Amino acid sequence: MALPLVLAALALPCAQGPDGAPAAPFILVSGCRAADGSIPLTALDLGDGGTRTPHAASVVRPAEVFTPGGIRIRARAEGIKLDFVGGAEAMLTPSLRLCLRDGEQTLPPLGRLALAFADGSRLELEPHSDPQRPLRRATFVSGDLRALLWPSGPGAAIEASYRRARAPADPLLVLGDGRAVYRAVPIGPLLALRAVLRPRDDARFPATRFVLAGDVLAESLRRLPSHVPPHPVQFPQAPEAARRLAELAGVLFTPGRIERTARAKGPLVLALPDEWRLDVAEGPGPGTFVLALLRADATIPAVEWTISPHRTELHLVRPNGGEGGGPRWFLRGLDLSEQVAALWPWTATPDDRRWAAQELRRLGARNAHERMRGGAAPR
């Protein structure tokens, strides 16, 4: 069957929530980590990526595959067609532009391109240097299976014993119903998602989405009692404070999601259970961020998570919050690098982090340095 070369324009209805509100730009998700500590793409609350419940194995044919979640991928000299479960479609041109039926399309990448699907499979693509020529190579990867889709024919290869290696580049994430494609920007326990392609006039798929991994925050609170000495002289209440926070971890970060709606105004704050809140702010240094955990009526946080390009730490805040020039935190920070590294398999460039900081400011994140100096948090 011939592969369609041109996708006809198709008007897509605007899909919104029950109250007509656009999708939330900032959410906290808990109780969704996989066994290896990672967060599945379906937990990002941006759809199933046009997949269904995965099968045990993919069905592979020459120049054509069905991913474990049922996405049909067909490779030809003219491009690659993607047919998602539910009826959504997309096409990759030989120059690796990703196109939708409504006319939306991406710019061609400067080099190779990888697409990550919600069922765990991926498509790795390499163009020719001459844009007039067809694809140089298209490879489908799923678990231990690696199949060369293009070029097809006698030279094609399927390796069932393939062991996963690092992809040629951080992939674009195929979400929504298959037509929402995002670039992932990991920032410690926070993941920023930047849309590179989405259906026109469809409010289900925001231009920006921040996802905060509550499981890592909860785990760090549970580790706090073992981090605090049993009889500290400078902060005698520290062991009791650490124990109470550890007990609260499962209450504050209960399985599910908490969102900051698109209509919310003012400082970037998430309301947590039991009259607690989480304040999201820019850090005092370039490319740093701070998450502050406070009681609803408090001005000084109980703890703060500091996020830098290379390290995430949990800090127990002293009762006076460092007023009068004293130290703000008690002891050295609790290092969360191992837990954070398992969350997201992608990297962030300095430009990514600058973009994320700009978007957080747009959502209401304040400068943490000013808040820390004043000892006050937003109410």
Please state the three-class secondary structure of the chain as a single string: CCCCCCCCCCCCCCCCCCCCCCCCCEEEEECCCCCCCCCCHHHHCCCCCCCCCCCCCCEEECCEEECCCCCEEEEECCEEEEECCCCCEEEECCCCCEECCCCCECCCCCCCEEEEECCCCEEEEECCCCCCCCCCEEEEEECCEEEEEECCCCCCCEECCCCCCCCCCCCEEEECCCCEEEEEEEECCEEEEEEEECCCCCCCCCCEEEEEEHHHHHHHHHHHHHHCCCCCCCCCCHHHHHHHHHHHHHHHCCCEEEEECCCCCCCCEEEEHHHEEEEEEECCCCCCEEEEEEECCCCCCCEEEEECCCCEEEEEECCCCCHHHCCCEEEEEEECHHHHHHHCCCCCCHHHHHHHHHHHHHHCCEEHHHHHHHCCCCC
Do residue 156 and residue 229 come from a single domain?
no
- Predicted pLDDT at 136: 85
Assigned domain for 68 exists: yes
- Predicted pLDDT at 165: 45
Assign residue 137 a region: left if phi > 0, alpha if psi is -120 to 50, beta otherwise?
Answer: beta
164: amino acid identity, one letter: R
pTM, two decimal places: 0.86
Q: What is the mean pLDDT of residues 139-167?
A: 68
Q: What is the mean pLDDT of residues 253-277?
A: 95
Assigned domain for 192 exists: no
Whether the predicted pLDDT of 220 surpasses 60: yes
Looking at the structure of the chain, the number of domains it has is: 2
Do residue 79 and residue 159 come from a single domain?
yes
Q: What is the mean pLDDT of residues 20-49?
A: 92
Assigned domain for 12 exists: no
Q: What is the mean pLDDT of residues 262-290?
A: 92
Assigned domain for 294 exists: yes
Whether the predicted pLDDT of 162 surpasses 80: no
Assigned domain for 10 exists: no
Q: Of the residues 175, 198, 220, which one is the last residue of a structural domain?
A: 175
Do residue 230 and residue 150 come from a single domain?
no
Assigned domain for 318 exists: yes
Do residue 350 and residue 236 come from a single domain?
yes
Do residue 219 and residue 138 come from a single domain?
no
Q: How confident is the model at residue 2 (pLDDT cuts 50, 70, 90)?
A: very low
Q: How confident is the model at residue 326 (pLDDT cuts 50, 70, 90)?
A: confident
Least reliable range by pLDDT among 20-29, 40-49, 50-59? 50-59
Assigned domain for 40 exists: no
Element (H, E) at 248: helix 238-252
Do residue 135 and residue 231 come from a single domain?
no
- Predicted pLDDT at 285: 80
| Residue 227 token pair | 């981090």
Which percentage of the chain shows pLDDT scores above 90?
63
- Predicted pLDDT at 61: 76
Residue 126 phi, psi (nearest 5): -135, 120
- Predicted pLDDT at 351: 92
Do residue 226 and residue 366 come from a single domain?
yes
- Predicted pLDDT at 179: 96
Element (H, E) at 224: helix 214-227
Do residue 350 and residue 219 come from a single domain?
yes
Q: What is the mean pLDDT of residues 153-159?
A: 53
Residue 52: domain span:
48-175
Does 172 or 155 have the greater pLDDT score? 172
Whether the predicted pLDDT of 196 surpasses 60: yes
Average pLDDT, the chain: 85
Q: Of the residues 147, 175, 203, which one is the last residue of a structural domain?
A: 175
Token pair 């996963």 is found at 164
Q: What is the mean pLDDT of residues 143-169?
A: 64
Q: What is the mean pLDDT of residues 355-362?
A: 95
- Predicted pLDDT at 57: 59
Q: How confident is the model at residue 153 (pLDDT cuts 50, 70, 90)?
A: low
Assigned domain for 289 exists: yes
